[in-house]
Structure 1
Amino acid sequence: RRTNTPIGRDGKLAKPRQLHNTHWGLVCPAETPEGQACGLVKNLSLMCYVSVGTPGEPIIDFMISRGMEVLEEYEQLQSPQATKIFVNGVWVGVHNDPTELVRDVRQTRRNNIISSEVSLIRDIRDREFKIFSDAGRVMRPLFVVEPGDTPSTAHQKGDLYLTKNMVQKLRETHLADQEGAFIPEEQRYEWSDLQKEGVVELLDAEEEETAMICMTPEDLEIYKLKKAGYDVPEDNGDDMNKRLKTKMNPGTHTYTHCEIHPSMILGICASIIPFPDHNQVS
């Protein structure tokens, strides 16, 4: 799970070696060699996944059935405000109601009709909807949060799709595996089931730019209370080891995803260090 940037080791350029914002959760911020290769040889984070690639044609056919106008029939004068649709970098058509199209394609991905490793990026300013299904994209899993625009759903706006019942079933399967007990196949509940049910979603660096991700489910609850008009007091306790929280931005419209755990930004070697978020003993 090691990556290599093909740049000459003897170069004195600092920029390719520095940590970038888009590396969050995808590349370990600590695990890199010292010396000439520092910052050029990187290691993937714990829950990273590299896409293997799926064909883009079924997605194009699905969007045509949802009202996409193919490029050969597009007349710019008739619909100048239409949103351009790209599949793996190729302009395939336009659509006049991109909000509904993006929602439909996202639901098909969460319902496992199209592959979970397909990325959907809607750029509202440039009026573009980009879809990537090619191989070699580094992705990471996140919990899905209900944004409030999904039709026919039992979830309220700001609710995690993950429920306590799902966590209990995961725990029971894990404990049975540890004890060597037999569980029938239909009663087993694993990570792949979370993906199939649309509770966990894989996002790449580009789709993450269009997502609003909160750090913990606790932050999500505080956000919901503040949005409902409740005054949540700041916890200024004396606990020296408490987590530093970022101030909530009052302009935050909605959350779309939630981090699984903050420690998932680390790679394999960094994650076995005890208390990596504390100072070293001098």
Structure 2
Amino acid sequence: NLFIKLNRDIMQYLKKCIEMGKAFSLDASVKQGILTNGLRYSLSTGNWGDQKKAATSKAGVSQVLNRYTYASTLSHLRRTNTPIGRDGKIAKPRQLHNTHWGLVCPAETPEGQACGLVKNLSLMCNVSVGSDVTPITDFMAQRNMEPLEEYDPVRYPHATKIFINGVWVGVHHDPTQLVQVVRSLRRDGTLTPELSLVRDVRDREFKIFTDAGRVQRPLFVIDDNPNSPNKGNLVFNVDHIEKLEKDKSIDTAGMDEEDRDKTLYGWNGLLSDGVVEYLDAEEEETAMIVMTPDDLEDHHRASTLTEPEEEEDEYDDGVDIGAMDDEEGERKKSKGSRVDKDPHRRVKQKPNPLIKSYTHCEIHPSMILGICASIIPFPDHNQVCIFRTL
């Protein structure tokens, strides 16, 4: 709008020069304050547009960055806004949904009319910036993907459809192998880690997303290679810890960002080794995620137990041993149940026998919190302390 106004003023000045027979002067036709004052007004108020048409301009395009503390600055940069009216007493958009796990902080939200509408991203959540789809399409064509123009549904009624960013590009007859190959290329760094792979077995669809604006979060990868001796365990091991420890002794003073990434193992090394990978909300629907490595070990232990009585003694059902009769209490104590060993342990459910294997593991349960909520001491001990502090 500012450039349109500037061009309009130049055209009017040019018409006057022609009518009056004067020589056209570019310096006299351009008013220096149009762009400067307009941009200054838009950046200071957030109303993007002409000052005289403030009612029709976009509001909230720019904001004053909070610089009270370093944590408040980071929190402000990771803030999201739901674009609905603040005056309405609608409860549903303000409530915390279970799909927000790991993506949106459950505690950090302002009071008043904006409660539940202004949210903050969790600690390790990020937003994809997008990548080119041409290499993916060419790779699919090399992996025996049949283009959509040549597909005959009568001849291949059970073929799996392949979608790239929502566009149906072709079909494939061996989706299991195709998904494994593409996932391995993403984990070894050949493809961008922002790539999202979603296979819907029921609808016979394989969806690939490379577009921008998808919220993602990192998770530990569990080895699912049937030929691997580490099958069912975390890919993350002692070797990766030693590489991370070695990074602490490397002096990176004077290095630019590119040289620092080449020298240090760091987070990029974990991504290229397939130790962690980013999952967006849609791919997370097809993953089986365990909460902690201890829970993964408990699942392995429970799946190998043969006597159901031993499996019951591994977990606390919330029953006080002191309230049992002497014989049953002594039996639990003699078997060394976890209730006796650690009275302050985290109460958790028994492993689900219907779950055969896991695909990913949470990095830590505290990663569901945002920047400001994560600096509260013991936020998992008392729920009141979170809301009182925030």
TM over 0.5: yes
Separation of aligned partners in 2, 1:225 and 1:58: 43
Q: Flag structure 1 segments of 5+ consecutive residues without an equivalent.
A: none
Q: Identify the residue that residue 132 of structure 2 maps to in structure 1.
A: 55
Cα deviation for residue 88 of structure 1 reads 0.3
Separation of aligned partners in 1, 2:172 and 2:130: 25
Q: Identify the residue that residue 74 of structure 1 maps to in structure 2.
A: 151
The answer to whether structure 1 residue 270 and structure 2 residue 373 are counterparts is yes
Q: Identify the residue that residue 196 of structure 1 maps to in structure 2.
A: 272
Q: Check the 8 A contact 1:155/1:161 in 2, yes or no.
A: no
Cα deviation for residue 113 of structure 1 reads 1.1
SS in 2 for 1:268: coil
Q: Check the 8 A contact 2:131/2:210 in 1, yes or no.
A: yes
Letter in 1 for 2:245: R
Cα deviation for residue 58 of structure 1 reads 0.9
Q: Identify the residue that residue 101 of structure 1 maps to in structure 2.
A: 178
Letter in 2 for 1:226: A
Q: Identify the residue that residue 156 of structure 1 maps to in structure 2.
A: 230
Q: Check the 8 A contact 1:146/1:155 in 2, yes or no.
A: no
1:208-263, Cα deviation, whole Å (9 max, x unpaired): 10000101111111212222346552222474542222331101021000100000
Q: Check the 8 A contact 1:54/1:133 in 2, yes or no.
A: yes
Q: Check the 8 A contact 1:28/1:265 in 2, yes or no.
A: yes
* Selected match of 1:167 from 219, 226, 241: 241
1:113-155, Cα deviation, whole Å (9 max, x unpaired): 1101000001111111111000111101101001244xxx644
* Selected match of 1:36 from 110, 113, 119: 113
Q: Identify the residue that residue 221 of structure 1 maps to in structure 2.
A: 297
Cα RMSD of the aligned pairs, angstroms, is 2.3
Structure having greater relative contact order (Cα 8 Å, sep ≥ 6): 1
Q: Check the 8 A contact 2:302/2:351 in 1, yes or no.
A: no
1:20-60, Cα deviation, whole Å (9 max, x unpaired): 11110011000001111111110001111111101112111
Separation of aligned partners in 1, 2:98 and 2:359: 19
Q: Identify the residue that residue 17 of structure 1 maps to in structure 2.
A: 94
Q: Identify the residue that residue 350 of structure 2 maps to in structure 1.
A: 247
Letter in 2 for 1:110: R
Q: Identify the residue that residue 218 of structure 2 maps to in structure 1.
A: 141
Separation of aligned partners in 1, 2:201 and 2:129: 28
Separation of aligned partners in 1, 2:136 and 2:229: 27
TM-score, structure 2 length as denominator? Answer: 0.67
Q: Check the 8 A contact 2:188/2:271 in 1, yes or no.
A: no
Separation of aligned partners in 2, 1:93 and 1:205: 24
Q: Which moved more, 1:54-63 or 1:219-228?
A: 219-228
Q: Which has the larger radius of gyration?
A: 2
Q: Identify the residue that residue 261 of structure 1 maps to in structure 2.
A: 364
TM superposition outliers: structure 1 runs of 4+ over 6 Å: 184-187
* 1:11–1:216 Cα change, 3 Å: same
Aligned residue pairs total 277
Letter in 2 for 1:23: H
Q: Check the 8 A contact 2:96/2:106 in 1, yes or no.
A: yes
Separation of aligned partners in 1, 2:250 and 2:162: 47
Cα deviation for residue 95 of structure 1 reads 0.9
More strand by share: 1
